[in-house]
Amino acid sequence: MFIKQLKEISKKLLNETIEAVVLVSEVNIKTTKNDKKYADLVIQDASKVMEVKYWDYEENQYKFQDFNNYQIMQIQAIVGEYSGQLQLTIKSLEKIEDAQVNIKDLMPVSPWDYESMEKGLAFYYNKIEAPHLKKLIEKMIFSEEFSNKFGTYPAARKVHHNYYHGLLQHTLEVLKFANTVASTKKLSQIQMDRLITMTMLHDWGKMMEYKALPETGFTEEGMMVGHIFLGAHYTLNIINKIEEFPQEDKLVILNGILGHHGSLEFGSPVLPKTVEAQILHQSDKMSGDIESILAHVKENVEEEDTFTKKLWNMGTEYYKK
Protein backbone atom coordinates (compact mmCIF):
# COMPACT_ATOMS: atom_id res chain seq x y z
CA MET A 1 0.00 0.00 0.00
CA PHE A 2 1.50 3.32 -1.08
CA ILE A 3 1.25 6.15 1.48
CA LYS A 4 1.31 9.70 0.14
CA GLN A 5 2.13 11.20 3.55
CA LEU A 6 3.39 9.72 6.82
CA LYS A 7 0.48 11.26 8.72
CA GLU A 8 -1.80 8.71 6.98
CA ILE A 9 -0.27 5.90 9.05
CA SER A 10 -2.62 4.86 11.87
CA LYS A 11 -3.56 1.82 13.95
CA LYS A 12 -5.92 0.85 11.14
CA LEU A 13 -2.81 -0.20 9.23
CA LEU A 14 -1.28 -2.37 11.97
CA ASN A 15 0.66 -5.32 10.52
CA GLU A 16 0.21 -3.91 7.00
CA THR A 17 3.14 -3.26 4.66
CA ILE A 18 3.31 0.31 3.40
CA GLU A 19 5.48 2.10 0.86
CA ALA A 20 6.42 5.78 0.93
CA VAL A 21 8.91 8.32 -0.38
CA VAL A 22 10.63 9.96 2.57
CA LEU A 23 13.63 12.02 3.55
CA VAL A 24 16.04 10.10 5.78
CA SER A 25 17.57 12.81 7.95
CA GLU A 26 19.50 10.75 10.50
CA VAL A 27 21.11 7.31 10.66
CA ASN A 28 22.16 6.17 14.14
CA ILE A 29 23.99 2.83 14.20
CA LYS A 30 23.44 0.70 17.29
CA THR A 31 24.27 -2.84 18.44
CA THR A 32 22.01 -5.53 19.87
CA LYS A 33 22.94 -7.72 22.83
CA ASN A 34 24.07 -10.31 20.27
CA ASP A 35 26.49 -7.80 18.70
CA LYS A 36 24.41 -7.38 15.56
CA LYS A 37 24.35 -3.88 14.10
CA TYR A 38 21.05 -2.18 13.33
CA ALA A 39 19.98 1.37 12.52
CA ASP A 40 17.62 3.83 14.10
CA LEU A 41 16.53 6.10 11.26
CA VAL A 42 14.80 9.45 11.44
CA ILE A 43 12.50 9.85 8.45
CA GLN A 44 10.24 12.70 7.49
CA ASP A 45 8.02 14.24 4.88
CA ALA A 46 5.99 17.43 4.85
CA SER A 47 3.44 15.96 7.28
CA LYS A 48 5.46 14.24 9.99
CA VAL A 49 8.82 13.22 11.46
CA MET A 50 9.23 9.62 12.68
CA GLU A 51 11.91 7.43 14.23
CA VAL A 52 11.97 3.97 12.63
CA LYS A 53 13.92 0.71 12.97
CA TYR A 54 16.04 -0.95 10.29
CA TRP A 55 17.17 -4.34 11.60
CA ASP A 56 18.82 -5.43 8.34
CA TYR A 57 21.42 -2.65 8.34
CA GLU A 58 24.39 -4.97 8.77
CA GLU A 59 23.65 -6.80 5.53
CA ASN A 60 22.93 -3.56 3.63
CA GLN A 61 25.55 -1.11 4.87
CA TYR A 62 26.51 -0.32 1.27
CA LYS A 63 23.19 1.55 0.85
CA PHE A 64 24.42 4.15 3.31
CA GLN A 65 27.80 4.80 1.71
CA ASP A 66 28.36 8.54 1.21
CA PHE A 67 25.27 9.27 3.30
CA ASN A 68 25.37 13.04 3.87
CA ASN A 69 22.89 13.36 6.75
CA TYR A 70 19.86 13.46 4.47
CA GLN A 71 18.82 11.30 1.59
CA ILE A 72 15.57 10.86 -0.34
CA MET A 73 14.56 7.20 -0.25
CA GLN A 74 11.64 4.97 -1.14
CA ILE A 75 10.91 2.68 1.79
CA GLN A 76 8.86 -0.43 2.36
CA ALA A 77 7.92 -0.95 6.00
CA ILE A 78 5.65 -2.89 8.32
CA VAL A 79 3.36 -0.88 10.62
CA GLY A 80 3.66 -2.08 14.20
CA GLU A 81 3.09 -0.93 17.75
CA TYR A 82 5.43 -0.67 20.72
CA SER A 83 4.39 0.53 24.20
CA GLY A 84 1.18 1.92 22.71
CA GLN A 85 3.01 3.93 20.06
CA LEU A 86 2.99 3.30 16.32
CA GLN A 87 6.31 2.05 15.02
CA LEU A 88 7.63 1.39 11.53
CA THR A 89 10.07 -1.42 10.82
CA ILE A 90 11.87 -0.90 7.53
CA LYS A 91 12.05 -3.99 5.31
CA SER A 92 13.66 -2.38 2.26
CA LEU A 93 14.85 1.02 1.10
CA GLU A 94 16.31 2.46 -2.07
CA LYS A 95 17.83 5.84 -2.87
CA ILE A 96 15.96 8.23 -5.13
CA GLU A 97 17.82 10.85 -7.12
CA ASP A 98 17.17 14.44 -5.96
CA ALA A 99 16.09 15.40 -9.49
CA GLN A 100 13.08 13.10 -9.23
CA VAL A 101 11.72 14.67 -6.02
CA ASN A 102 12.01 18.23 -4.71
CA ILE A 103 13.57 17.95 -1.28
CA LYS A 104 11.51 20.90 0.00
CA ASP A 105 8.36 18.89 -0.65
CA LEU A 106 9.54 16.47 2.04
CA MET A 107 10.13 19.09 4.73
CA PRO A 108 7.46 20.29 7.19
CA VAL A 109 6.72 23.94 6.42
CA SER A 110 4.94 26.63 8.43
CA PRO A 111 1.23 26.83 7.57
CA TRP A 112 1.49 30.62 7.65
CA ASP A 113 1.98 32.58 4.43
CA TYR A 114 5.63 33.61 4.20
CA GLU A 115 5.05 37.06 2.66
CA SER A 116 2.50 37.85 5.36
CA MET A 117 5.03 36.85 8.02
CA GLU A 118 7.64 39.14 6.48
CA LYS A 119 5.14 42.01 6.60
CA GLY A 120 4.30 41.14 10.20
CA LEU A 121 7.93 41.30 11.23
CA ALA A 122 8.30 44.69 9.50
CA PHE A 123 5.15 45.91 11.31
CA TYR A 124 6.64 45.27 14.74
CA TYR A 125 10.01 46.65 13.70
CA ASN A 126 8.31 49.91 12.69
CA LYS A 127 6.73 50.18 16.16
CA ILE A 128 10.21 50.68 17.64
CA GLU A 129 11.00 54.38 18.03
CA ALA A 130 14.49 54.35 19.62
CA PRO A 131 17.07 54.72 16.77
CA HIS A 132 19.74 52.59 18.47
CA LEU A 133 17.29 49.70 18.94
CA LYS A 134 16.12 49.94 15.34
CA LYS A 135 19.75 49.80 14.26
CA LEU A 136 20.33 46.69 16.40
CA ILE A 137 17.41 44.88 14.75
CA GLU A 138 18.51 46.03 11.29
CA LYS A 139 21.94 44.50 11.79
CA MET A 140 20.76 41.25 13.39
CA ILE A 141 17.61 40.42 11.44
CA PHE A 142 17.23 42.51 8.30
CA SER A 143 20.86 42.46 7.18
CA GLU A 144 21.98 40.46 4.13
CA GLU A 145 23.97 38.19 6.43
CA PHE A 146 21.04 37.03 8.57
CA SER A 147 17.66 37.80 6.96
CA ASN A 148 17.39 34.59 4.91
CA LYS A 149 18.41 32.38 7.84
CA PHE A 150 15.98 34.08 10.20
CA GLY A 151 13.17 33.48 7.73
CA THR A 152 13.90 29.81 7.06
CA TYR A 153 15.26 28.16 10.22
CA PRO A 154 13.13 26.06 12.59
CA ALA A 155 12.48 27.21 16.16
CA ALA A 156 13.17 23.79 17.69
CA ARG A 157 14.40 20.33 16.83
CA LYS A 158 11.31 18.44 18.01
CA VAL A 159 9.13 20.18 20.59
CA HIS A 160 7.55 23.13 18.74
CA HIS A 161 7.72 25.03 15.43
CA ASN A 162 10.20 22.42 14.16
CA TYR A 163 9.71 23.21 10.50
CA TYR A 164 10.76 25.50 7.65
CA HIS A 165 9.98 29.16 8.61
CA GLY A 166 9.35 27.93 12.18
CA LEU A 167 11.64 30.48 13.86
CA LEU A 168 9.89 33.34 12.06
CA GLN A 169 6.40 32.06 12.91
CA HIS A 170 7.30 31.50 16.57
CA THR A 171 8.86 34.97 16.83
CA LEU A 172 5.72 36.55 15.39
CA GLU A 173 3.49 34.62 17.79
CA VAL A 174 5.57 35.79 20.75
CA LEU A 175 5.48 39.37 19.44
CA LYS A 176 1.68 39.23 19.19
CA PHE A 177 1.23 37.83 22.69
CA ALA A 178 3.76 40.24 24.18
CA ASN A 179 2.26 43.26 22.43
CA THR A 180 -1.22 42.37 23.72
CA VAL A 181 -0.01 42.21 27.32
CA ALA A 182 2.14 45.34 27.03
CA SER A 183 -0.73 47.35 25.49
CA THR A 184 -3.19 46.09 28.10
CA LYS A 185 -0.84 47.09 30.93
CA LYS A 186 0.02 50.40 29.22
CA LEU A 187 3.79 50.05 29.20
CA SER A 188 5.78 53.16 28.27
CA GLN A 189 7.21 53.62 24.77
CA ILE A 190 10.76 52.75 25.84
CA GLN A 191 9.47 49.61 27.55
CA MET A 192 7.60 48.70 24.37
CA ASP A 193 10.76 49.34 22.32
CA ARG A 194 12.84 47.12 24.59
CA LEU A 195 10.20 44.40 24.66
CA ILE A 196 9.88 44.22 20.88
CA THR A 197 13.67 44.20 20.52
CA MET A 198 14.32 41.42 23.04
CA THR A 199 11.40 39.42 21.66
CA MET A 200 12.74 39.60 18.10
CA LEU A 201 16.14 38.45 19.36
CA HIS A 202 15.21 35.94 22.07
CA ASP A 203 15.65 32.84 19.86
CA TRP A 204 18.02 34.44 17.36
CA GLY A 205 20.79 32.08 18.50
CA LYS A 206 18.89 29.10 17.11
CA MET A 207 20.31 30.00 13.69
CA MET A 208 23.66 28.95 15.17
CA GLU A 209 22.32 26.20 17.46
CA TYR A 210 20.66 24.10 14.72
CA LYS A 211 21.84 22.84 11.38
CA ALA A 212 20.03 24.21 8.35
CA LEU A 213 17.04 22.17 7.21
CA PRO A 214 16.61 19.51 5.98
CA GLU A 215 19.21 18.41 8.54
CA THR A 216 17.71 18.18 12.01
CA GLY A 217 20.66 18.02 14.40
CA PHE A 218 22.64 20.46 16.50
CA THR A 219 25.79 22.29 15.42
CA GLU A 220 28.91 21.98 17.55
CA GLU A 221 28.23 25.51 18.85
CA GLY A 222 24.70 24.52 19.70
CA MET A 223 25.75 21.39 21.55
CA MET A 224 28.49 23.14 23.49
CA VAL A 225 26.89 26.44 24.50
CA GLY A 226 23.27 26.62 23.25
CA HIS A 227 21.11 29.32 21.70
CA ILE A 228 20.64 31.43 24.83
CA PHE A 229 24.35 32.15 25.18
CA LEU A 230 24.84 32.49 21.43
CA GLY A 231 21.99 34.98 21.10
CA ALA A 232 23.21 37.12 24.00
CA HIS A 233 26.83 36.91 22.82
CA TYR A 234 26.10 38.06 19.27
CA THR A 235 23.72 40.74 20.52
CA LEU A 236 26.36 42.15 22.87
CA ASN A 237 28.93 42.19 20.06
CA ILE A 238 26.59 44.16 17.80
CA ILE A 239 25.56 46.53 20.62
CA ASN A 240 29.22 47.33 21.27
CA LYS A 241 29.57 48.46 17.64
CA ILE A 242 26.63 50.90 17.86
CA GLU A 243 27.73 54.35 19.00
CA GLU A 244 26.23 55.73 22.22
CA PHE A 245 24.10 52.67 22.93
CA PRO A 246 22.65 53.31 26.43
CA GLN A 247 24.02 51.00 29.13
CA GLU A 248 20.56 50.58 30.67
CA ASP A 249 19.03 49.39 27.40
CA LYS A 250 21.92 47.00 26.86
CA LEU A 251 21.45 45.36 30.25
CA VAL A 252 17.66 45.15 29.97
CA ILE A 253 17.78 43.54 26.51
CA LEU A 254 20.53 41.09 27.45
CA ASN A 255 18.62 40.07 30.58
CA GLY A 256 15.53 39.48 28.45
CA ILE A 257 17.43 37.18 26.09
CA LEU A 258 19.28 35.35 28.86
CA GLY A 259 16.19 34.99 31.05
CA HIS A 260 13.54 34.06 28.49
CA HIS A 261 13.28 30.43 29.68
CA GLY A 262 12.16 31.86 32.99
CA SER A 263 14.08 29.69 35.46
CA LEU A 264 17.54 28.30 36.07
CA GLU A 265 16.40 24.68 35.80
CA PHE A 266 15.11 25.31 32.28
CA GLY A 267 18.40 26.66 31.00
CA SER A 268 18.32 30.40 31.68
CA PRO A 269 21.51 31.54 33.44
CA VAL A 270 19.62 34.44 35.03
CA LEU A 271 15.99 35.14 35.97
CA PRO A 272 13.90 37.82 34.23
CA LYS A 273 14.62 41.08 36.06
CA THR A 274 12.22 43.47 34.29
CA VAL A 275 8.54 43.48 33.47
CA GLU A 276 9.50 43.34 29.79
CA ALA A 277 11.58 40.20 30.36
CA GLN A 278 8.77 38.54 32.31
CA ILE A 279 6.26 39.32 29.54
CA LEU A 280 8.69 37.85 27.02
CA HIS A 281 9.12 34.68 29.07
CA GLN A 282 5.38 34.11 29.49
CA SER A 283 4.69 34.87 25.81
CA ASP A 284 7.46 32.54 24.68
CA LYS A 285 6.18 29.75 26.91
CA MET A 286 2.62 30.18 25.65
CA SER A 287 3.70 30.04 22.00
CA GLY A 288 5.82 26.93 22.50
CA ASP A 289 3.38 25.06 24.74
CA ILE A 290 0.28 25.67 22.63
CA GLU A 291 2.05 24.78 19.39
CA SER A 292 3.35 21.61 21.02
CA ILE A 293 -0.14 20.61 22.22
CA LEU A 294 -1.85 21.35 18.90
CA ALA A 295 0.77 19.39 16.96
CA HIS A 296 0.45 16.45 19.38
CA VAL A 297 -3.36 16.40 19.08
CA LYS A 298 -3.08 16.55 15.29
CA GLU A 299 -0.67 13.61 15.26
CA ASN A 300 -3.08 11.57 17.40
CA VAL A 301 -6.30 12.62 15.67
CA GLU A 302 -6.72 9.31 13.83
CA GLU A 303 -6.55 7.29 17.06
CA GLU A 304 -9.89 6.05 18.38
CA ASP A 305 -9.18 7.04 22.00
CA THR A 306 -10.82 10.17 23.42
CA PHE A 307 -7.49 11.44 24.75
CA THR A 308 -4.05 11.58 23.16
CA LYS A 309 -1.06 9.70 24.51
CA LYS A 310 0.85 11.62 27.17
CA LEU A 311 2.73 14.59 25.73
CA TRP A 312 6.15 14.17 27.29
CA ASN A 313 7.14 17.84 27.63
CA MET A 314 3.77 18.78 29.18
CA GLY A 315 3.38 15.68 31.35
CA THR A 316 -0.26 14.91 30.52
CA GLU A 317 -2.72 13.65 27.91
CA TYR A 318 -4.99 15.98 25.93
CA TYR A 319 -8.66 15.75 24.98
CA LYS A 320 -9.30 15.49 21.26
CA LYS A 321 -12.26 17.30 19.75
* DSSP per position, 188-227: -HHHHHHHHHHHHHTTTTHHHHBPPTT--SB-HHHHHTHH
pLDDT recorded at residue 237 = 98
Model confidence at 299: pLDDT above 80: no
> Domains of the chain: which residue ranges?
6-105, 114-297
The CATH number of domain 6-105, selected from 3.40.50.150, 2.60.40.10, 2.40.50.140, 3.20.20.140:
2.40.50.140
Task: Report the amino acid identity of residue 71.
Answer: Q
Which stretch of 88-102, 223-237, 238-252 has the lowest confidence by average pLDDT?
Answer: 88-102
Of 147 and 216, which is predicted with more confidence?
A: 147
114-297 in CATH: which number? 1.10.3210
Q: What is the largest CA-CA distance in the chain?
A: 67
| Helix, strand and coil percent figures for the chain, each rounded to 5 | 45, 20, 35
pLDDT recorded at residue 302 = 66
Q: What is the pLDDT of residues 41-87, one digit of tens each?
A: 989 888 888 889 999 998 988 888 777 667 888 999 999 988 777 88
